[in-house]
Amino acid sequence: MIGRWSGLNESRVLLESYLLCSLLPAAFFLLPSWFEVSHGMIHRDGVVDYSMGLVAILLAPILETIFIFVPILEVCRHLKLRALWVVLCFAFFFEAIHTQRDLLGHLMLYPTMISMTMVYLAMREKSFLHALLFTAVVHEVYNFTVLMGSAYTYDRFFY
């Protein structure tokens, strides 16, 4: 996949990596949240903190890319470690530092982290700037989708 993405045009890479990142969370988190809310099972009533959403969408992906992805993946690249192990181990590490999730959440989002790691490595074959920008953009769009697409983000629906 890394070799394939490094040879594709940028818009195709963005689309494919975003879809790969979002598939499991959409199926197992976003859709169920709407079913629960539409059936009156969840009542949010003023529990929303939109400032955290803005940080998660705008700031966190940029900082995580600069301070986590770049140093670790550049060292791995310099050491010429095998891409498969870099992807699997870094994705595990990156998912593990997101401590706000339960075990099921970690298992569901591990493939998302694999996709983000692969997009960094694939775009790094083009340039450092490509890797930096593509990883941050995919991460931001993914966070936007998960936050704004979830029914739990909003105060009240269907009542």
What residues does each domain of the chain span?
A: 2-30+50-152
Mean pLDDT of the region 13-39: 86
Alpha carbon 91 to its chain centroid, in Å, reads: 11
Q: How far from 12 is each of 15, 16, 104, 139, CA to CA, in Å? A: 5, 6, 30, 16
Give the mean pLDDT of 117-127: 94
Rounded CA separation 158/71 (Å): 46
Residue-level pLDDT at 90:
97
How far apart (Å, rounded) are the C-alpha atoms in residues 52 and 150? 14
Average pLDDT over residues 16-24: 91
In the predicted structure, residue 39 carries a pLDDT above the cut 80: no
